[in-house]
Structure formats: C-alpha cells, structure tokens
C-alpha cells in the first residue's frame, strides 16, 4: 500500500517488520536517507548507515517515547543533534542499551520532559542535551538508584554542570563530592552574582533586568537545590546538610524573604515528599501556620490537611477555623 510521508510530494511505501511500522522511500532504503518509524502519537525519523540506525528527527510525540533497540533488524546506536528539540508534549523517554551517542541539544527545550531512562552506561552525551528541560526530575542510569537519578537530573536542570554528566562516574563517592561542592558554591554565592553580566550583555534568557526580581530567582534556585539534596541525602556530609537546612529555615514564611515557602507552594504543593520535609525541618511553625494555610486557600488539599494536623491535638480548635 502507499501513503503520503512527511513531505507531501514524496511517495513512500508502507512496510511491516514484525511489530514495527516503517515508512520509507523505496529507492532510498539503506542509502543513508530518511525513513520513518511509527510510534503511538508520532514517528521517529531515521537513517541507515554502516548497518546502524541513527534517529535524526521526530514528530510532536505525545507522552512517552520508547526508542527501539532495532529497526529493520539494525541496531539503533545514535540520537542525532536536535532530534527531539522542543517536543513540548514529550514526558518520558527510554533509550535502549544499543544507543551509545546522544547528539548536542537532542532533547533541549522539551518543556514537559520529566523522566529519561538510559540503557547504556557508556553513552556519550553531547553539549546541552537537556538544555532548558525545566520539568526533568529523574535521569535513570543502569544499576543506579533513585537518588542518583534525581541528582543526575538536578545536575542538568539546577546546577547546570556538564562535568557531572558522566554516567560511568555517577553515584561514585567522587561524583557525590563534586555535586556537593557545586551545591555549596551556589548556596554561598551572592544573590546578585551574574546580574552585571546580564545587564551589560543584554542576556534576555534571564528575563527581567530588575535587580530585586533577579535576586529572588537566585534564592529560589538555591531553595530547589537544598530541597533536592535533602530529599536524596546519600553521601551527604553533616556540615553541608546543616547548611542546606539552615538556608531553607531562613527563607520560610515569615522571614525577610520567603522563597522556601514560595517554591513549595508554587512548584511542589502536590508532592508529599517536599511538604513533609518542609514541615519536619521546622519551616512550618505555630507562628507562621495561619498565614501558610491562608496562602494555600482551596489549593493543594492534601498538603493543607497535613499542615493542619502536624502539631497534633493542640491544634484541633485552630485547625477547625480553616475547614
């Protein structure tokens, strides 16, 4: 049967390969030109070179993209640069063990991308592979636990440190030490650090050039790093743990600046790990609880219920006022 491919003037042949669905030019197969592998909600564009498959582009995929190990019997070994650039509805990606190369900006600007699983610990990651993937929470690696997955993703989105993106080193004592050194450096930096460069160079990616807004964004970033590392404390040394906790406590509701509470309310209000940590650290107090419950309003009912019951029976009368 025949149908139309990505180019409306290009006739392609539809072929079946077991459970695979492939669209391709009948004259270009195995000549290094593009064909299409169908996925639910979209397709992967690929080419065959030296009996290996490289994924070179994709359509607007929805939800999850599981990259196959083989297409047409050939191993999928590479993801081309910008192959998934700006796929706004992509949330989860699984790369098979056969993939050993991921090109520059391959998944950059995927706004809703939350989770990636990498099957090959020796995979080479190019430049800015996950640039501006603001929702990325876990980057799973073979034989590594959830802590490493969370901190590896944090190295991408929060610390923005390319030298931490080494799958083979991830999870080692040295890797944790590097992660923590960068986190400490960030926490101790001045909130206005980098502001002059933004103003002088006109770097629009930072948003407003208002100094007050800039400093608030810097504190929010520090809060996110502190939350993340305290939630995943493997190899966390006591002195850094104390520093992270103190930072959250000094920016909670009722303090001169309230970024700890703002980040929790705006970004993690439905995440019980975060709001329970907030409360148990002492960021929720008898003095600030009324204001916090008022801020929550009708949003995040589970967090609100947890905070209402946090101090036990002595708060029952007070809590009833917010029901």
Biggest CA–CA distance in the chain, Å, is 78
Q: What would the pLDDT profile of 135-166 be if each residue is shown by its tens digit?
A: 999 999 999 999 999 999 999 989 989 899 99
Residue 209 reports pLDDT greater than 90:
no
Residues near 208 by Cβ (< 8 Å), separated by ≥ 6? 214
Q: Among candidates 25, 21, 53, which has minimal Cα distance to 38?
A: 21
- Return d(Cα 4, Cα 201) in angstroms, integer: 47
Average pLDDT over residues 110-126: 96
Average pLDDT over residues 79-103: 96
Q: How many CB atoms lie within 10 A of CB 72?
A: 18
Q: Which residue has the higher pLDDT, 47 or 27?
A: 47
Q: Which residue has the tokens 């590594």?
A: 144
Average pLDDT, the chain: 86
Q: State the pLDDT confidence band at 26, using cuts at 50, 70 and 90.
A: very low
Backbone angles phi, psi at 316, to 5 degrees: -60, -45
Q: Among candidates 55, 50, 4, which has minimal Cα distance to 25?
A: 4
* Encoded tokens for 306: 């947890």
SS3 34: coil
Average pLDDT over residues 155-179: 94
Q: State the pLDDT confidence band at 2, using cuts at 50, 70 and 90.
A: very low
CA 269 to chain CA centroid, Å, is: 17
- Return d(Cα 198, Cα 200) in angstroms, integer: 6
Enumerate domains of the chain plus CATH numbers: 1-136 (3.80.10.10)
Q: How many CB atoms lie within 10 A of CB 286?
A: 11
State the pLDDT at residue 201. Answer: 62
Residues forming a β-bridge with 15: 22
pTM of the model: 0.84
CB distance 37 to 22 below 8 Å: yes
Q: Which residue has the higher pLDDT, 314 or 213?
A: 213
Residue 1 reports pLDDT greater than 70:
no
Residue 250 reports pLDDT greater than 60:
yes
State the pLDDT at residue 33. Answer: 58
Residue 10 reports pLDDT greater than 50:
no
Please tell me what DSSP assigns to residue 10.
-
Q: What would the pLDDT profile of 267-293 be if each residue is shown by its tens digit?
A: 999 999 999 999 999 999 999 999 999
Average pLDDT over residues 76-90: 96
């Amino acid at each position: 049967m025949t149908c139309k491919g990505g180019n409306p003037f290009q006739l392609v042949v539809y072929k079946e390969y077991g459970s695979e669905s492939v669209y391709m030019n009948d004259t270009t197969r195995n000549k290094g030109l593009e064909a299409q592998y169908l996925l639910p909600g979209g397709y992967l564009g690929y080419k065959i070179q030296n009996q290996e498959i490289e994924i070179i582009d994709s359509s607007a995929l929805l939800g999850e993209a599981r990259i196959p190990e083989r297409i047409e019997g050939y191993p999928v070994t590479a993801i081309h640069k910008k192959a998934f650039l700006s796929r706004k509805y992509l949330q989860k990606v699984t790369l098979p063990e056969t993939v050993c190369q991921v090109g520059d900006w391959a998944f950059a600007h995927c706004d809703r991308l939350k989770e990636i699983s990498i099957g090959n610990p020796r995979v080479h990651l190019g430049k800015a592979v996950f640039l501006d993937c603001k929702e990325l929470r876990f980057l799973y690696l073979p034989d590594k636990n959830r802590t490493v997955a969370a901190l590896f993703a944090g190295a991408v989105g929060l610390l923005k440190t390319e030298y931490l993106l080494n799958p083979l080193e991830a999870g080692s004592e040295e890797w944790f030490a590097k992660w923590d050194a960068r986190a400490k450096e960030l926490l101790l930096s001045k909130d206005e650090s980098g502001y002059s460069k933004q103003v002088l160079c006109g770097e629009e990616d930072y948003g407003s050039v208002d100094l007050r807004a800039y400093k608030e964004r810097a504190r929010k970033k520090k809060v996110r790093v502190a939350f993340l590392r305290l939630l995943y404390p493997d190899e966390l040394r006591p002195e850094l743990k104390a520093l992270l906790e103190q930072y959250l406590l000094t920016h909670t509701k009722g303090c001169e600046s309230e970024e700890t509470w703002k980040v929790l309310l705006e970004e993690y209000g439905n995440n019980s790990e975060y709001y329970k940590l907030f409360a148990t650290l002492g960021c929720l107090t008898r003095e600030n609880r009324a204001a916090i419950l008022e801020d929550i309003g009708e949003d995040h009912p589970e967090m609100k219920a947890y905070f209402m019951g946090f101090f036990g029976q002595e708060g029952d009368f007070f809590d009833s006022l917010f029901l």
